[in-house]
Structure 1
C-alpha cells in the first residue's frame, strides 16, 4: 500500500482510482499523518458488511452445553 501526500493526490486521481480498482489501496496523508484510505467499491462493500461478533456467535449453531461453563469467580489479582 502506498502513501500519497494530500497535495500530490489531486495531480494523480486516475492512478489512485485505477490502483484501488485493481486491489491496491492507497493511503492519503495530511501533514504526514494517514488520513484516508482509497479502496475499490467492491472492497468497501465487503468490509462494510462484516457481521458483528455477536451475530457470528448467534449464527454458529451452538447448542446449550456446547461451551464450557463460565468461571464465575472474582477477578484475579496481578500479583505485582
Structure 2
C-alpha cells in the first residue's frame, strides 16, 4: 500500500490527507474549514517547505506554499531564453534543409 511508503508527517490538522503528486512530491490536503482554524500552523508549515493543498467539498481549490518557493517557481525563464542559453557548439544541430517546399497540389 502507498501509505506505508510515505514519510510520516505530523498530524497537526484534523482532516489531513497525504497526496502523492509525483514520486518526489508529497503534499498534504487540508479541508478549508480546518485550514481556517489553524491558519498560523499551515503558514508556519509552508515556510518550512511543507506546502499544502486546500480543498473545499473534496475538490482542490488552492495551494499554500512558502514565499521563497513561490518566488523560485514564478521566476522560471521562458523556453526561448533557455534555448538561447544552451551551450551548443558548431555541429551540435543538423544542417537546415534549404530546399524549397514541395508542391501540395492544392
* TM-score between both structures, scaled by the size of structure 2: 0.60
Q: Which position in structure 2 is the counterpart of 1:22? A: 48
How far apart are the structure 2 equivalents of 1:70 and 1:40?
Answer: 46
Any stretches of 5+ residues in structure 2 without a counterpart?
1-26, 98-106
**Inter-partner Cα distance in structure 1 for 2:89 and 2:44:** 47
- Larger RCO: Structure 1 or Structure 2 (Cα < 8 Å, ≥ 6 residues apart)? 1
Q: How do 1:1-80 and structure 2 match up within 5 A?
A: 1-63=27-89, 65-69=91-95
Consecutive unaligned residues of structure 1, counting only runs of 5 or more, are 72-80
Largest Rg, 1 or 2: 2
Runs of 4+ in 1 over 6 A off after TM superposition: none
Partners in 1 of 2:96 and 2:35 — Cα distance? Answer: 52
1:7 deviation in Å?
A: 1.5
Aligned length: 71
- TM-score, with normalisation over the residues of structure 1? 0.77
Q: Which has the higher strand share?
A: 2
